[in-house]
Amino acid sequence: MSVILLKSVCKSYLSGDGRLHVLKQTDLDIKKADFAVVAGPSGSGKSTLLNLIGGLDRPDSGLIEIDGVELSRLTDSKQAAFRNQKIGFVFQSFHLIPVLTAAENVAWPLYIKGVNRKQRMLRARELLSNFGLATHIDKQPDKLSGGQCQRVAIARALACEPQIVLADEPTANLDHKTSVEIMDLLCSLNKESDVTFLFSTHDQMVASYAKRHLYLEDGKLIENAVDAHIDEGVGCV
């Protein structure tokens, strides 16, 4: 069954000297428990694509269906609720809430969902421990390194046990060893819980874990175009 389905999706932005066409009739079909990565040059539209799939922005035209639900049929607030229920999103620039601690940031989506404080803080602590941050749970983001913020952002994306995880360059700020540890964790989630992953990445190591390799070029997604560039990986496929 298709969990993420895009048909002829177009997205453009107004730029100084006219309209910049980023996605040009883009198609995509991701099945349940797929683990797909999207590579492509900087500015090719990887973040744009993930933002549209995550319902953070709307396309100019075309169809986006998530788990059989057409996003354009949902109001902004229904889309936000749908995202909270189904999707964990790891932003390229984290978007952690600066006044909250690491644990409170991870617990935030559970608060939105209506989970009581004791339960959500328990879950947040458990997730942060899994990501090697047990001693950092009470720190605010400005007291954490970039790599630690990245791990908090990944933990937050998993807080509500989403069916789909969209991650925009999730290892961009991590050293190789931490990246491998996190990818191993995510990979076991993909295998054991059938969570569907769609990541954008420039990281060959991350790509080596994926079952599907997509390349975004000139507004279109090409399958298997990056296979030739992937290092021997430690992947789980």
Ligand X SMILES: Nc1ncnc2c1ncn2[C@@H]1O[C@H](COP(=O)(O)OP(=O)(O)OP(=O)(O)O)[C@@H](O)[C@H]1O
Among positions 7, 13, 78, 93, the unique one binding ligand X when judged by CB under 6 A: 13
Phi–psi pair at 193, nearest 5 degrees:
-115, 5
Phi–psi pair at 202, nearest 5 degrees:
-105, 0
Query: 44 or 101, CB closer to Mg ion?
Result: 44
Under rule CB under 6 A, residue 146 binds ligand X: no
Q: Which stretch binds ligand X (CB under 6 A): 15-23, 141-149, 184-192, 206-214?
A: 15-23
Q: Least distance to ligand X from the beta carbon of 175, Å?
A: 20
Among positions 9, 36, 46, 173, the unique one binding ligand X when judged by CB under 6 A: 46
Under rule CB under 5 A, residue 47 binds Mg ion: yes
Under rule CB under 6 A, residue 207 binds ligand X: no
Nearest to 112 by CA among 140, 89, 138, 80: 80
Phi–psi pair at 37, nearest 5 degrees:
-120, 145
Under rule CB under 6 A, residue 47 binds ligand X: yes
Tally of CA atoms within 13 A in the half-sphere of 117 that contains its CB: 1
| Interface contacts to ligand X, rule CB under 6 A | 13, 15, 20, 22, 40, 42-48, 92
